[in-house]
A and B are shown apart, each in its own frame.
Chain A
């Protein structure tokens, strides 16, 4: 089955710096790669996603890149702010005909943005 590795497990940056989180996946059939942010006491919430037919996607200060050949994808946060402090999870899924879409997560990265 699919296995998603995520690095680093913790990341500390100064406000205004950039943060990069990297993930690799094992199943070449995976075709959907979302990123979730989990704030303290809450469930994870989608912040950006990318599908396998796209190499890069950007939404304001957040961008995701995908390298299908190497089977890795990354989250980039620019101009970090204290409110970006949270745990970030990458995930991979394979939408196959028939409706079975198993969403597998990495172990998470705790990002701390220091003022």
Chain B
């Protein structure tokens, strides 16, 4: 019954490393999202994609980039990880027409 899968539950990286967070969905949905969740700040949108190779910046895109080469896969890239990017990262997928967004389990990233 898995719908959205994130490649890692926990990840520890060093400052300056290039980090890839992978997300795969099996629902053939057009929209995919990357959020960052921090205590007291809720879910903040980093980037979203509404089609293959299409992307739009969310509210906090600085320090991040994304890639969507295939419909089912949406990758979040931290070009040069910093300690302030230590957080829980959540991926979601949704169909068009404001349908339910399905979330992955999240990746807890620690940058040391």
Q: Tell me the A residues contacting B by CB distance below 8 Å.
A: 1, 6, 9, 31-32, 34, 36, 41-46, 49, 51, 89, 93, 95, 99-108
**Chain B neighbourhood of A51, CB < 8 A:** 98
Give how many B residues have a beta carbon under 8 Å from the other chain's beta carbons. Answer: 29
Within 8 A of A (CB), among B80-97: 90, 92, 94, 96-97
- Cα separation A99 to B4 with both chains bound (whole Å): 20
**Chain A neighbourhood of B96, CB < 8 A:** 95, 99, 101
A9/B40 in contact, CB under 8 A: yes
- Nearest residue in A to B44 (C-beta to C-beta)? A105
Give chain B's interface secondary structure class.
Answer: strand
A105/B42 in contact, CB under 8 A: yes
> Which of these, A34, A99, A106, contacts B42 with CB under 8 Å?
A106
Given contacts A34-B101, A43-B103, are A100 and B56 in contact (CB under 8 A)?
A: yes
Within 8 A of A (CB), among B13-36: 30-31, 33, 35
- Nearest residue in A to B90 (C-beta to C-beta)? A43
**Chain A neighbourhood of B106, CB < 8 A:** 42-43
Q: Tell me the B residues contacting A by CB distance below 8 Å.
A: 4, 30-31, 33, 35, 40-45, 48, 50-51, 56, 58-59, 90, 92, 94, 96-98, 100-101, 103-106
**Chain A neighbourhood of B100, CB < 8 A:** 34, 46, 49
**Minimal beta-carbon separation of B4 from chain A (angstroms):** 8
B103/A44 in contact, CB under 8 A: yes
**Chain B neighbourhood of A44, CB < 8 A:** 43, 90, 103
- Nearest residue in A to B56 (C-beta to C-beta)? A100
Apart from A1-B59, A44-B103, A100-B50, what are 20 other A-B pairs with CB-CB below 8 Å?
A6-B42, A9-B40, A36-B103, A43-B4, A43-B106, A44-B90, A46-B101, A51-B98, A89-B43, A95-B96, A99-B50, A99-B51, A101-B50, A103-B45, A103-B48, A103-B94, A103-B101, A105-B43, A108-B42, A108-B43
- Cα separation A98 to B92 with both chains bound (whole Å): 20
